[in-house]
Amino acid sequence: MTVKGKKPISWKWVTIAIIALAVVSGTISALYQANPSEPIPPKEITIKYTYTTMDSVSLWKAEAGKTLLVVNMTIENHGYDSFYLDPLNFEAVVDGVVYKHSIITYFLDDVGYIPMQPVYLLDKGKVVCAIAFEISKDYQSISLRHMWALQYNIEWISA
């Protein structure tokens, strides 16, 4: 093929360019394909927890008609770059009522627990901590939740 005043295009170089492009494209494609023999594990935050109730922690006492729900947790990050832990992000749902953490959380070390502190839990990271809620004394059901649960796959495990 020639264009007036231009050198003819060499089909040999066009063919080499197409082959080189196909090889590079195939290599890149192969790099992005997962190996079917090695499945990618799902990302997950696991929270193993136990809880107890107390009338007081150190100098702090629960208000009349209330009790202190102390939740001890082991939290592990499996696959996420980071997971932000903060007592402000946890809630206790007790008989259909949502409770935010109590300031008593920060004094749980007085009774042998590790108070939850704001930290970033990195992939494969693990932390043991506790959080307190001041809830109704005559409760029937308790569940826990994290405010960012829609952004993470969180598995709650009652130990």
Adjacency order of strands within the sheet including 90-94: 97-100, 90-94, 142-146
Give the pLDDT confidence score for residue 149 in this predicted structure: 81
The pTM is what? 0.73
Number of CB atoms found within 10 A of residue 156's CB: 15
Give the pLDDT confidence score for residue 39 in this predicted structure: 73
List the chain pLDDT tens, one digit each, 159 residues. Answer: 555 666 666 666 666 666 655 555 555 555 455 555 667 778 999 999 999 999 999 889 999 999 999 999 999 999 999 999 999 999 999 999 999 999 999 999 999 999 999 999 999 999 999 999 999 999 999 999 999 888 999 999 998
Cβ–Cβ < 8 Å for 74, 80? no
